[in-house]
Amino acid sequence: MKDEDKTKEQLLRELQKANQDLREELVQRRQAEEENSNIERQLRQAQKLEAVGTLAGGIAHDFNNILTAIIASASLMQRAVDETSPLRRHLDRIFSACERATALTQSILAYSRKQISKPVPNSLNQIIENLNKLLTRIIPEHIEFKTSFAYADLTIMADSGQIEQALLNLVANSVDAMPAGGSLLIKTELAVNLEFQDTDGCGKPANYAILTVADSGVGMDAKTRERVFEPFFTTKEVGKGSGLGLAMVYGIVKQHEGFISVSSEPGKGTAFMIYLPLLAPDWKEQNHQDIQPQTGGNETILLIEDDKDVRGLLKEMLVSFGYHVIEAFDGKDGVVKFIEHQNDIRLLLTDVMMPKKNGKEAYNEIKKIKEDVNVIFISGYSAAATAELLDEHLNYMAKPVSPRDLLAKIREVLDK
């Protein structure tokens, strides 16, 4: 009987071990399935972003050409209108609207195509104050709106247009969460030596400016909070949300080397907190630049641009500042015009993406004729798209380009 008992015990142990092995194998299979599922989800997300990037790049090109024409026209009108004219305030509104439209386009590209931003020292409080008039117009009267600013100096290195767009997206999201009314608070705070870790596990002790947008709306459950920054994820009805607003906010914050977190419960409202690194106290000495006045010249510029309206308005603006301008409607025509006037031309001002011959191809051919030719490339496509064509050392400006910036860049290049 003892031998029989030992055999039963041995069989039981073997059976238990087999069950344990089977459980471990099942766990491993589940983990493998979850990993495969995560990879598939990441692949689908990457494909979505690629689709957004392609669509946004094409729209941005056309939209930025339109904005360039509007800004150039408004600038010509501004020069012709007396400073005391009541038309001045309408022109100011045009410029303001163009700035917001530019920020919107660049914010989409910032997430989908990693558009290069233009950060400069900015006061976070001032950015919000500049938006205050617009915010009071878009927030309905049945929502109580308040702001609370930190007394500390919250100077950050930021593209103000992108920060404005992120704030507008968060406010719009809060308004949608309070259809029956409620309260909305925008608050800034200072966090000293904060060690913060976001969902990627990144973070280091530093001083941060904290921007909080808090509402008393419907709130979110845990599953929604986990997916809230995913592109195309939305809890809104069909046709009422693209699912890109918070995804763009996340992309903008990450581009500014910041972090974002969300606190929310169903029926208890939502608070988004953006952490942006503060500039060092001595930033003013390091980054201060005087604003240069608009200046022209009498040099001859070869303007290569395939958009007729943009070409005509840029020519008119440059001529009004004393320059002589030769027009070309694409890269191929630009090479022909340069050969005809090569002794007079001091600068090429050329679009990048054009039919028949793009701006870089035209520049390469012209450089064989005159090796030290000056060039400035301008484009309505994203910086990521044009970076594949242009070398880092070449002068590049993104459309829509302001007349002040363009004139300053032209003088900088010509005076070297």
pLDDT digits (tens, 9 = 90+) for 322-343: 999 999 999 999 999 999 999 9
Spatial CA neighbour of 122 closest among 161, 92, 93:
161
Give pLDDT tens digits for 153-188: 899 998 887 888 889 889 988 998 898 899 999 999
Averaged over 22-40, what is the pLDDT? 73
Give pLDDT tens digits for 97-122: 887 777 667 655 655 544 556 678 89
Q: What is the dihedral of CA 169, 174, 176, 180, to 10 degrees?
A: -160
Which one of 3.40.1160.10, 3.90.480.20, 3.40.50.2300, 1.10.220.70 gives the CATH number of domain 300-414? Answer: 3.40.50.2300
Evaluate if residue 262 carries a pLDDT over 80. Answer: yes
Average pLDDT of the chain? Answer: 80
Ranges of each domain in the chain: 117-287, 300-414
The pTM score is 0.54
| pLDDT over 90 percentage in the chain | 29
Distance CA 209, CA 93 (A): 30
What is the SS3 assignment for the chain? Answer: CHHHHHHHHHHHHHHHHHHHHHHHHHHHHHHHHHHHHHHHHHHHHHHHHHHHHHHHHHHHHHHHHHHHHHHHHHHHHHHHCCCCCCHHHHHHHHHHHHHHHHHHHHHHHHHHCCCCCCCEEEEHHHHHHHHHHHHHHHCCCCEEEEEECCCCCCEEEECHHHHHHHHHHHHHHHHHCCCCCEEEEEEEEEEEEECCCCCCCCCCCEEEEEEEEEECCCCCCHHHHHHCCCCCCCCCCCCCCCCCHHHHHHHHHHHCCCEEEEEECCCCCEEEEEEEEECCCCHHHHHCCCCCCCCCCCCEEEEECCCHHHHHHHHHHHHHCCCEEEEECCHHHHHHHHHHHCCCEEEEEEECCCCCCCHHHHHHHHHHHCCCCEEEEEECCCHHHHHCCCCCCCEEEECCCCHHHHHHHHHHHHCC
Nearest-5° Cα angle at 380, 376 to 381: 105
Would you state the pLDDT for residue 76?
86
Would you state the pLDDT for residue 283?
55
Q: Is domain 117-287 annotated with CATH 3.30.565.10?
A: yes
For strand 345-351 and strand 143-148, is the pairing parallel, antiparallel, or unpaired? unpaired
Averaged over 358-363, what is the pLDDT? 91
**Range name among 3-12, 245-254, 293-302 with the lowest pLDDT average:** 3-12
